[in-house]
């Protein structure tokens, strides 16, 4: 796979190195030669020091034959423009953009780009750890719009059906693990203390789910 990494900062250098270690043909492009020092000494890919918005530089990096491009510079506007060019002008099939400022996300989404937003994702993870430590996020799709949470059933909930505590309108039970064996429980399946439940919920329903779980615990 031929991949271009735009930006040789800490994330770009790590991404490029990981891809090259997997055997992919990687080209890193950055306008600052000093940033190339972030790449490990045994990096096996190519480097291009040039203005990343210059089309000649992009062609030199191999954008016309690229299978994927990651725009991970430290400037959202640059990432947006490069990613849009890659998609619309050079028809790169797989383009991923890192967005620092969450305010840029609507524009990136309007362009139909795949987005990784560490600021939004990180803030959401910290919020969950502070406010709901018993409901731990183990998987996040997109930038947290849909998440899978892990929850240990307490003794006070033993004997309650799945549907009572996890209604479909709020969340979906992804799996239930009991005695080391995972399976998909039915709505009437009775919970036992120590069951490990994995549930999925949208961003809009996370708070409702938390309130329901807290309410059930308070009643007990």
Tens-digit pLDDT profile for residues 143-199: 678 889 888 888 888 899 998 888 877 788 999 999 889 999 999 999 999 899 999
CA dihedral of residues 57, 8, 66, 112 (deg, nearest 10): -100
What average pLDDT does the chain have? Answer: 87
Instruction: Spell out the residues 6+ positions from residue 193 whose beta carbon is closer than 8 angstroms to its own.
Output: 153, 154, 155, 157, 158
How many of the other CB atoms lie within 10 Å of CB of 53? 14
> Which pLDDT score is estimated for 87?
92
Q: What distance lies between CA 68 and its chain's CA centroid?
A: 17
Question: What is the pTM (predicted TM-score) of this model?
Answer: 0.66
pLDDT value at 218 more than 60: no
Among 35-44, 149-158, 199-208, top mean pLDDT goes to 35-44
Residue 169: strand, helix, or coil: coil
Task: For the chain, give every domain's residue range.
Answer: 2-116, 121-219
Nearest by Cα to 206 from 158, 162, 150, 146:
146
- 2-116: what fold? Rossmann fold (3.40.50)
Residue pair 119/103 in contact (Cβ under 8 Å)? The answer is: no
- The residue ranking higher by pLDDT, 104 or 70, is 70
- Rounded average pLDDT over 84-105: 89
> Which pLDDT score is estimated for 154?
83
- Residue 217: pLDDT band with limits 50, 70, 90: low
Structural tokens at position 1? 């796979």
Which CATH homologous superfamily contains domain 121-219? Regulator of K+ conductance, C-terminal domain (3.30.70.1450)
> Which pLDDT score is estimated for 38?
95
pLDDT value at 128 more than 70: no
């Amino acid at each position: 796979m031929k991949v271009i990494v735009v930006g040789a900062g800490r994330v770009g250098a790590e991404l490029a190195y990981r891809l090259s270690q997997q055997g992919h043909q990687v080209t890193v492009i950055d306008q600052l030669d000093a940033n190339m020092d972030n790449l490990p000494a045994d990096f096996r890919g190519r480097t291009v020091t040039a203005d990343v918005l210059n089309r000649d530089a992009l062609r030199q990096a191999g954008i016309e034959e690229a299978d994927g491009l990651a725009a991970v510079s430290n400037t959202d506007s640059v990432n947006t423009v490069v990613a849009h060019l890659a998609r619309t002008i050079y028809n790169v099939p797989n383009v991923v953009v890192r967005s620092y400022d969450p305010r840029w996300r609507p524009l990136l989404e309007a362009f139909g780009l795949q987005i990784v937003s560490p600021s939004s994702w990180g803030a959401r993870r910290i919020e969950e750890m502070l406010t709901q430590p018993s409901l731990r996020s183990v998987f996040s799709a997109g930038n947290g719009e849909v998440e899978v949470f892990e929850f240990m059933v307490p003794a006070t909930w033993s004997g309650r059906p799945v549907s009572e505590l996890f209604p479909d309108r709020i969340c979906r039970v992804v799996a239930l693990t009991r005695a080391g064996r995972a399976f998909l429980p039915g709505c009437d399946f009775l919970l036992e203390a120590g069951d490990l439940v994995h549930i999925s919920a949208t961003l809009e329903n996370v708070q409702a789910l938390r309130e329901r779980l807290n309410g059930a615990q308070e009643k007990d």
